[in-house]
Structure 1
Amino acid sequence: MEKLDIMKHDKSIALIFGILTLAIILALTNTEFLKWAFARHQNLLSWYVRPLFLVPFCYFAYKKSWAGISITIFLLATSMFWFPAPAVVGPQEAQFLEMELDYLTGEWGFAKILVALLVPLSFIVLGAAFWKRNILMGLAVIVLIAVAKMIWGVVFGGESGTSIFAPAIVGLVICAVLIYLGFKKPWQKKKSSP
């Protein structure tokens, strides 16, 4: 009975968390809030946690739960400031985050907007892959997201961009393994069906 009630309110819950996510994004346009968030984002735990949100995102897309997808995106958006600001920040990490902050607060032209649109586009494609139960396509998109993030980091951050390689690769491996293990059973059922 509870499951039916949750599904009944799936789109309403999704809308609420979609609005909350937009509120966080708008709050990040405030310079003071952005600086506060980035001070906490220097904590490497947030770098390692963020890619892991792809696992519940894929799960909820597979289960066709708008609420689950929306809540996961909200948690991903807020996770950059979950952890306290570290006492010591490595020089490469500090330089990379300084570049990222400058990038976000700098002038926005057409090319920058197109690059920024790749983020929601990649989530749409990833969600669509799992919604349609295309696990291999979904895993390919996850790999592309990780590679694109690393390329973006090096193109715009130079050598400091390599500081995101370890979190991106660790996140990619963990996500791929968990998704493979989580969806292995449905694959086997599908293959054994006549």
Structure 2
Amino acid sequence: MSTMNENENRVMKHFDRNVAILFAILSLAFIVLMGTDHVFFEWAFSRHQNILSWYIRPIFMIPICYFAFKRNATGISATIFLMFISMFWFPKPVEIDPKVADFLAMERVYLTQNWTITKMLVTSIVPISMGLLIRGLWQRNIKAGVGVLIGIAVGKIIWSVAEGGASGAKVIVPAILGLGICIVAIVWWYKKRYLKS
């Protein structure tokens, strides 16, 4: 019986790893497409002007944290892919907030021009922080996970205001609201599942 369970676990881990790799490849393909296809890049950014895509993206942290707790690589990888493509889920708005347009214009320039060593190092903070978040929660360290989440939100706000000025302030409300929802959801779930009496 134990041998059967061990075999099943091995098969499931193998499946989980392979599907996670598939979604990682899809995420990489999306990044390459954004960097090489100008038409697709502009189409995606035109839809990203819909402020709903700004509010939904931080919420993806909830399933990422959940799957990290469950040690489910497929769930993590699939959620990251969905988070990437969520920028164009909503239609291009009829009326565009000038500050939103200004901020996205800055992001366009940031992503397409002058990739210096400094910019690469700064940008690498994003995958590094996501890795730290996943690692912390994979190890069931709730304090580390929440701490990294706060760091991600604060870092996003600081970068947005530093690079975008007044237009960057449009990120503050979605970032703080998303952070609050994520922390409440994570703490509630953690207490319910792991701190039962």
TM-score by length of 1: 0.93
Amino acid at match of 1:33: F
What one-letter code is carried by the residue in structure 1 that aligns with 2:125?
A: L
Give the Cα–Cα distance (whole angstroms) in 1 for the partners of residues 56 and 189 of structure 2: 19
CA distance in 2, matches of 1:8, 1:94: 44
Q: Distance in 2 between matches of 1:74 and 1:163?
A: 24
Q: 1:109 aligns with which of 105, 111, 116?
A: 116
**1:131-146 paired onto structure 2 within 5 Å:** 131-146=138-153
Matches within 5 A, 1:116-127: 116-127=123-134
Structure 1 stretches of 4+ with a deviation exceeding 6 A read none
How many residue pairs match? The answer is: 189
> What RMSD, in angstroms, separates the aligned Cα atoms of the two structures?
1.5
Residue in 2 that maps onto 1:13: 19
Shift in Å, 1:170: 0.7
Q: Which runs of 5+ in 2 are unaligned?
A: none
The equivalent residue for 1:76 is: 83
Work out the CA distance in 1 between the residues paired with 2:41 and 2:142.
Answer: 36
> Which string of whole-angstrom CA distances, capped at 9 and with x for unpartnered residues, describes residues 44-97 of structure 1?
110000000111001111111111111011001111111111111111111111
Q: TM-score, normalised by structure 2?
A: 0.92
2:31 is the alignment partner of 1:39 = no
Cα displacement (A) at 1:7: 4.5
Identity %: 48
Q: Which residue of 1 aligns with 2:30?
A: 24
